[in-house]
Structure 1
Amino acid sequence: MPSADPSPPGPDGLWAAPLATGPVQAVVTLPGSKSLTNRYLVLSAHAQESSRLRSPLRSRDTLLMAQALRELGCEVGGAPDQPADWIVTPHTLRGGGTVDCGLAGNVMRFVPPVAALAAGPVAFIGDAHAAARPMSVILEALRALGVEIHDEGRGSLPFTVRGRGAVRGGAVTLDASASSQFVSGLLLSGPRFEHGLTVHHDGKSVPSLPHIEMTMETLRDAGAMVDDTTPHTWHVEPSEINSLDVVVEPDLSNAAQFLAAALVTGGRVRIPGWPQYTTQGGDALRDILDRMGADIVLDRDGLTITGGGGGIHGLDIDLHDSSELTPVIAALCALAERPSVIRGVAHIRGHETDRLAALATELNALGGDVRETEDGLRIRPRPLHGGTFHTYADHRMVMAAALLGLVVPGIHVENVATVAKTLPTFVDLWDGMLGQSQAPA
């Protein structure tokens, strides 16, 4: 039975990634989806009446989103009968405040269009690395729609949106090849624009298209009239937004390292509540892990992954639509029996860090053989050894390191606390997974 003592960071600030002593047998219950929580929060701010989000994710990114909406005049707080839920009460949007984006792409791309509807200036700031995240596309799109923005020509944080209480809306053409969030951020506020909104993409393929599908579906849930039948074009009519009462699905992307643990150790992991239908890109894990040698069962009890006896298969895969899975999949590939190629993820160089460079650097430092390509990684498995795994303030790097640590002794993870960006309970969940003797039948 795998076991692990609770493992907080040591005096040197490094977290000793626990080593599995046998096949993992566990049930892991995950908190809600970050992507859905943040979309529901924004739509709730535009609604006519109060909304209730059940089982939302409370992480740094979603707490920053909630605080951003408070800065704009909304109330966001726990429900009296169930404090884990969020009650969002909209009010007339106001300016005069400062929005801290942290390192959250959702906040820096979703909130400026909301701020454009406020009366008065709204300043946007963020973490030190936030200025490196692409922002010029959405800022220029807002300018094309008549919104006044001051950024001193940077096209990045910090900047100020000078809202006039209304946005005329209409049609805008942009290049969303760096992030689907540019499209989603505009669409979420589009129903409140005077003439609605039509967004047309002109450029290389848009990454993470399931996230735009998620945006369109949440808009429909809130009563908006939307149209995505024309390729590369998304339209939303001007309309009121209905209040929401929704249960937030588990975050499927955050399931990656837990499910992969079953494959790495030859064990079994079940995630309760896995939806039969979802727009979350993390659902791609079912196909990916199947290709890498796992047995997959999705039923009313959730998703169960069982590691087979045939080792970990290498693969050639395009992760363009589910790029957030890249760090954990790259770690799996480093442990596989034959080489792998990950393609279609050039855009993740502009995420919390340059994820391709970071993965290549850290895996090679542990003895791996990883080469960056223009749009991904080539990974040749080699025996790995322990060492310090740097995370670059990137939560997904922590998850990749933890997975490697199950079978590679002596991996110490820098700044494990950065995982609070999307999964504050990660260390407890990881230790709990290793401490379970068996999964319920």
Structure 2
Amino acid sequence: MSEEILTPEAVAFVAELNRTFADRRDELVARRAERRATAAAAGRLDFLAETAEIRAADWRVAPAPADLADRRVEITGPTERKMAINALNSGAKVWLADLEDANTPHWDNVISGQVNLYDAVRGTIEHTSQEGKHYALRSDVRPATIVVRPRGWHLDERHLEFDGRPAVGALVDFGLHFFHNARELLARGSGPYFYLPKMESHLEARLWNDVFTHAQRRLDIPHGTIRATVLIETVPAAFEMDEILYELREHASGLNAGRWDYLFSLIKTFRDAGADFVLPDRNSVTMTAPFMRSYTELLVRTCHRRGAFAIGGMAAFIPNRRDPEVTAAALDKVRADKSREAADGFDGSWVAHPDLVPVCREVFDGVLGDRPNQLERTRDEVVVTAEQLLDVAATPGAATAGGLRGAVDVGVRYIVSWLSGNGAAAIHNLMEDAAT
């Protein structure tokens, strides 16, 4: 299996990316700890004074390609073969093919994920289970547009070394997919599209943009072919949304509100900043908490001002066919969550299970109608301050012993799943991954 992915030409391409960009990656990742220490000592972050002109200026990202203009429902999941087929057949507009949080970076998973992407791009992906059930792409459903999420800048890939040092995981994931599939995607009327996770600054976005420019030039792919949606899932990135889009403006497609990693980033950044940054039980921190509301409102306003899509966060519920009451109650919560996002101006949202695609689609259909998106809603009335983004103390709820026990329970169960090679685990009717 690895022979068809790790061809000499593909490995040489990934090696070139690493030799060109790994040192800059190392420098930028090292800056993260310095910035966290400064923020914790001050008990605050702020918008950057040195980039005020970018925030004030009138500019827009490149127009979206046709198959990314409508993103009202996006389904996320690992690149495991059966789950990939189910996602492509789900009726969602986009499949986030996850090589990051939903994927354990076992070498077999890394390579099989690339094999499955190769076959999915060409429409040849099939699977037969041990029970004899056959899975293939349906002819009566338009397959979801593939958007690949590589690993974040901070992760290495120790199964590949160049010049005596581990490869950068993000460059392995990006490089192999781009090398094998970019031309085929273009021939099929699509393109190489990516979700970029875990960024903490516009300088990290600039690095991605330079990688894109280099890769396109190297393979003689037209500049601007790549499109990237950035997950705003770290607190520092929330203060640089304009700047991140600006750095990627020739390749940017949108921003996504990554709830769970955003909360983790808040804890990690301000863990030494005192009681004002102590969160209640994790299930108590909803998207209506004041500081989370400020984050999503600013995201929608920033995106639409710049002509970029605003994509809502994950609905992680997994329907339980053995318990209709639990399922009905959860679907009501999902519907309410997606209704809030659609009303706020989001252009689409994430779900984790094919059964949730119709629920999310119904909500966004009701708001969008025949329109592919609502970029025209610029939300000019929204004004968000640094203090509002960090107003954790106003979050209702408390930290309880029961909440702690629940978090430990989920954590232990997830680690067991992760160590067994499964990065997306069904736990207590929720799809848990490394973010949740």
**TM-score normalised per structure 2:** 0.29
Q: Which has the higher strand share?
A: 1
